[in-house]
Amino acid sequence: MVFLLVSAFIGVILFEVPSLIRNKHWRELIVFSIFLSIAFVMALLATIGVKLPSPAKGVDYFVEDILHLNYQ
């Protein structure tokens, strides 16, 4: 599973990066690598079985238990 994930990310890098370097789009390269590394860390943690906190449940908790606003 981890091998598949890493090869998928290497595929994305090989697909995007060469044309960025050829055109000297350094700013694009920086933003691309920041988002790709965030996505890689999240996908890797989810793949090896670490329980990440769910943002949707966080929003539910915030609205329901802190603001006490819900239909019921």
# residues contacting other proteins (CB under 8 A):
33
User: Per CB under 8 A, does 60 bind other proteins?
Assistant: yes
- Name the minimum Å distance from CB 17 to other proteins: 8
Contacting other proteins within 3-22 (CB under 8 A): 12, 15-16, 20
b (16+ CB within 10 A) / e for 46-63: eeeeeeeeeeeeeeeeee
**Binder to other proteins among 4, 14, 27, 66 (CB under 8 A)?**
27
Q: Which residues have a Cβ under 8 Å from the Cβ of 63 and sit 6 or more positions away?
A: 69, 70
**57 part of the interface to other proteins, by CB under 8 A:** yes
d(CA 3, CA 50): 17
